[in-house]
Structure 1
Amino acid sequence: MSKRTTTVMAAVALVCAMGILTPGASYAAPAKPEPPTTAAGKGPDLEQVRAQLDLLYHDAALATEEYNAAEEKAQKQSAQIVELAKDIVKGQQKLERLKARAGAAARQQYRSGGIPAEAQLVLSDDPTQFLDGASRLRQGQRATKGLIGELTRTQEDLQTYAQDAASGWEKLEAGRKEKARAKKKIKSKIAAAEKLESRLEKKERERLKELEQQAEYKQQTAWLSSGVLKDIHGKSSSRGQEAVAFATAQIGKPYVWGAVGPGSYDCSGLTSQAWAAAGHAIPRTSQEQWRRLKHIAVKDMRPGDLIIYFDDASHVGMYIGDGAIVHAPRPGRNVTIAGAGSMSILGVVRPDA
């Protein structure tokens, strides 16, 4: 483990012990709040603003993972279409060679054919030579039959490749529309959140950040108060250490939806790239990480494991030990350390189980 990672984890342990771990923005997904209200002569209800922002950014995160899933699917479909195109080119080349062979066989048959075999036997000066020739003729006929069969199979293969490619293009186009819808939703949610925040005065924005930290701190404190941390003693694997080292080295880089580095990340972009850097590929999105990776009990988690958040698995962070995660929170925030229990935990998965 690097000196930087050791220092980061030691610092997290200290602030956890002191009960003052107050990481970045709250990322909860509450029920739909009422629009912020303004009392006569007073500013907006900042608790309502916070709840509204939480909902908007949660919806943006969910749409981001939908976009990421569509993007990953499109990359796979594009690769399949490329391979099908290669198969079609090879098939066409093979078909041309087979047609050339068939043409040569037909010309040879034409030159030697036209006289019935019985007449050739009668007219032949050497019946033995004729019989040898007849044997070769039968061999040639069998070869011709095989050639016709191979031609037919190649044509059928080409037709299948073409149909598969057409289907692939249709799926690619459907995926493009799916990405466009998700992109539009992401932008509208982020724009709404930014518009809401822009209405606040400087002091109100500062107070809002305090409220976000307090909400996150309250949830982290409740999680730690359950005694869960005393049961968590797992040691990371060598690859887990590499993944943690990579993720913590990204601290301070901005969250950008759909980003996988190196200058910016979204939540699953950070975790997938961290494990890729450790030499172990994992799914791109938080939903697929939850669906396809091995589930681990919270008490058994170790640094490098991924904590999936919210019922819709719309957020993910990497556990780094001492009750903390490193994650890319949401638009407007940077990659940071947060309390592992500061958001609603769905479960834990282990990439290198």
Structure 2
Amino acid sequence: MGTAPGTRTGSGKRGLVTVAVAVVCAVTVLAAPGTAFAAPAPDPTPGASASPAAPVTNAELDAVRKKLDKLYRAAAVATDEYNAAEEKTQDQSAQIVALARKIVKGQEKLDELKDRAGAAAAAQYRGGGLPPEAHLMLSDDPQDFLEGAGRVRQGQHATKGLLGEMARTQADLKQYAKDADAQWRKLEAGRKAKAAAQQKIEKKIAAAEKLESELEKEAKERLAGLEQQAAQQAQAAWLSSGILDDITGEATAQGRKAVAYATAQIGKPYQWGAEGPASFDCSGLTSQAWASAGRGIPRTSQAQWKQLTRVAVQDMRPGDLIIYFGDASHVGMYVGDGTMVHAPRPGRSVTLAGAGSMPILGVVRPDPGAKAATGTTPPSAPEKKTEKKAGATSDKKAEKKTANGTANGRADENPEKQKNAEKSADKKAERKTQKDSSAGARTSGSGSGEKDSDTGTDTGANAS
């Protein structure tokens, strides 16, 4: 009859299981986070002159500042590429591990089906394999034959079902292996993308650090001053548009938690690819802040810009994310009062800055459906408004003070104060009436019957 199905060797099983185990081990290696290497220190300048160098002009320093901005922005773009590749490799690794588990379970199921099919074949073999007519002729009781024939048909049906299930399981195993291979290729591509992005980051940061290292201490301080001045000028231009008059949104409960987390990280250093707790890059800070508030958001600034709900700048509220530059290479979190918190760049720490200190691409909201939390107040910024329109603000304050001083006579401007003034006048009139009445009682025949011109109250002794 040939070899029974259950007698096949286990080499196929061992092969698939071995492959599955190898896949898991390899994924562990490939999916490990890329090692961050310190940027190489600049080569010492041989034979440097001991004579003092000529002072650097402001124009030269400003050119250096712009070049540094360009280098660090390129590093930020590469950091986004690295973070995106890291996110993909983690997802692909998880899929490969899941497929490996399916392969192991599928192989175990296939082995069980083979055992059952082998047992059915052995039972048929013990029956001699005679046709039903022969069993009928050899049977002493036709009823027994019919019952036996029914059982045989059931057995044949079950065997057919087993064979069909075996075929489907084998097909599933082939598909799992095919999917695992595809994910493996994607994982390898992601690993290469991570490595390329890492090299690009390190190259840009090294170039920027080398450029800064060539400056004297005094020039570095002036450079920092120029950077601050450029940011202040950009913020002043943004505020001069009157934008803060329109930004009155209140934070949601989750938004307040996200802001609290982000501002608690102030002072921690920037590190590309970092998500805390000791250091952060720009999108690492914003994504972790919202994760702490119970809402997951995309990891990179570019993905945050693409996937989160966009809102108008004048509609933003604390907790919203401000995306900067045309390539969405930087992100900060709005905290109110025209201010945002962000992780700026290598060599800097998490800090507060003007929301308009860099070119704004747009604003995105991680919790678009949530309502403002109760008990919050709009993020007003009287100091910022004073900077924006110092003269106009002073005039308004003076007008307000004058109005408050004359409110007792202007019920249309302050009804509450007018009401209080009327009550005070009534009390004064009452006291005056009592005083005059007492005086009239002491002076015989002095009742005049006249009325107080201010209160309209009878003040004479004859008043009824």
For the residue of structure 1 that corresponds to 2:363, the secondary structure is: strand
Q: Tell me the residue number matched to 1:206.
A: 221
1:232 counterpart (235, 247, 252) = 247
Structure 2 CA distance for aligned equivalents of residues 41 and 101 of structure 1: 91
Q: Which of 308, 316, 319 is the matching residue for 1:304? A: 319
Aligned residue identity for 1:109: Q
Partner of 2:96: 81
Write the letter of the residue equivalent to 1:331.
P
List per-residue Cα deviations over 1:210-260 (Å, max 9, x = no partner). Answer: 100111111111111011111011111100000000000000000000000
1:275 partnered with 2:272: no
Q: Secondary structure at the match of 2:273?
A: coil
Report the counterpart of residue 178 of structure 1 in structure 2: 193
Deviation, structure 1 residue 114:
1.9
Deviation per residue, 1:257-285 (Å, 9 max, x gap) = 00000000000000000000001111000
Give the secondary structure class of the aligned counterpart of 1:213: helix
| Superposed CA offset, 1:35-84 (max 9, x none) | xxxxx954361011001000000000000000000001111111111111
Which of 138, 143, 153 is 2:158 aligned to? 143
Cα distance between partner residues in 1 of 2:54 and 2:273: 42
* Paired amino acid for 1:90: K
- 1:104 equivalent to 2:100? Answer no
Which residue of 2 is the match for residue 46 of structure 1? 61
**Distance between the aligned counterparts of 1:75 and 1:116, measured in 2?**
60
Are 1:325 and 2:340 an aligned pair?
Answer: yes
Deviation sequence 1:295-341 (CA, Å, 0-9, x none): 01111110000001111111000000011100000000000001111
Residue 258 of structure 2 aligns with which residue?
243
Is residue 305 of structure 2 the alignment partner of residue 287 of structure 1?
A: no
Compute the RMSD of aligned alpha carbons: 1.0
Q: Deviations over 1:7-54 (max 9, x none)?
A: xxxxxxxxxxxxxxxxxxxxxxxxxxxxxxxxx954361011001000
1:340 paired to 2:355: yes
Partners of 1:278 and 1:139 in 2: how far apart? 60
Distance 1:114 1:50 in 2: 92
1:28 corresponding residue in structure 2: none
Inter-partner Cα distance in structure 1 for 2:171 and 2:251: 53
CA distance in 2, matches of 1:323, 1:198: 34
Shift of residue 159 of structure 1?
A: 0.6
Distance 2:244 2:295 in 1: 27
- Report the 3-state secondary structure (helix = DSSP H, G, I; strand = E; otherwise coil) of the residue aligned with 1:173: helix
The two structures have a TM-score, normalised by structure 2, of 0.67
The residue number in structure 2 matching 1:92 is: 107
1:156 aligns with 171
Which residue number corresponds to residue 3 of structure 1? none
Q: Distance in 2 between matches of 1:153 and 1:349?
A: 48
d(CA) in 1 for partners of 2:284 and 2:145? 76
Please tell me the residue identity of whatever aligns with 1:270. Answer: L
Distance 2:198 2:349 in 1: 21
Q: 2:82 aligns with which of 52, 67, 87?
A: 67
Cα distance in 1 for residues equivalent to 2:124 and 2:97: 41
Query: In the TM superposition, what is the alpha-carbon distance from 1:123 to its structure 2 partner?
Result: 1.3
The alignment's TM-score, normalised by the length of structure 1, stands at 0.88
For the residue of structure 1 that corresponds to 2:257, the secondary structure is: helix
- Matched residue of 1:325: which SS? strand
Cα distance in 2 between the residues matched to 1:261 and 1:255? 10
Give the gaps of 5 or more residues in structure 2.
1-52, 369-464
Displacement of 1:113 after TM fit? 3.8
SS of 2:327's equivalent in the other structure is coil
SS at match of 2:331: strand
Distance in 2 between residues matched to 1:201 and 1:322, nearest whole Å:
37
In structure 1, the partner of 2:271 is 256
Name the CA distance, whole Å, in 2 between partners of 1:142 and 1:276.
55
> For the residues of structure 2 that align with 1:197 and 1:232, how far apart are their CA atoms?
38
Matching residue's letter, 2:225? E
Aligned: 1:133 with 2:124: no
Segment of structure 1 superposing worse, 107-116 or 83-92: 107-116
Where 1:307 maps in the other structure, the secondary structure is strand
In 2, distance between residues paired with 1:316 and 1:70? 19
Q: Do the aligned partners of residues 113 and 297 (structure 1) sit closer, same or farther apart at CA in structure 2, a change above 3 Å counting?
A: farther
C-alpha separation in 1, matches of 2:122 and 2:305: 65
Shift of residue 352 of structure 1?
1.1
* Secondary structure of 1:258 counterpart: coil
Please identify, of 85-94 and 248-257, the stretch whose mean Cα deviation from structure 2 is larger.
Answer: 85-94
Match of 2:330 among 315, 321, 331: 315
Matched residues, number: 314
Q: Secondary structure at the match of 2:232?
A: helix
What are the ranges of 5 or more consecutive residues in structure 1 without an aligned counterpart?
Answer: 1-39
1:116 paired residue number: 131
Counterparts of 1:110 and 1:121 in 2: how far apart (Å)?
18
Q: Return structure 1 stretches of 4+ with deviation > 6 angstroms.
A: none
Q: Which whole-Å CA distance do the structure 1 matches of 2:156 and 2:193 have between them?
A: 55
Determine which structure has greater relative contact order: mean sequence separation of CA pairs < 8 Å that are 6+ residues apart, divided by chain length.
1
**Within 5 A, what are the aligned runs for 1:24-39?**
none
Question: What residue number does 1:58 align with?
Answer: 73
In structure 2, the residue matched to 1:190 is 205
Task: State percent identity of aligned pairs.
Answer: 69
How far, CA to CA, are the matches of 1:331 and 1:42 in structure 2? Answer: 26
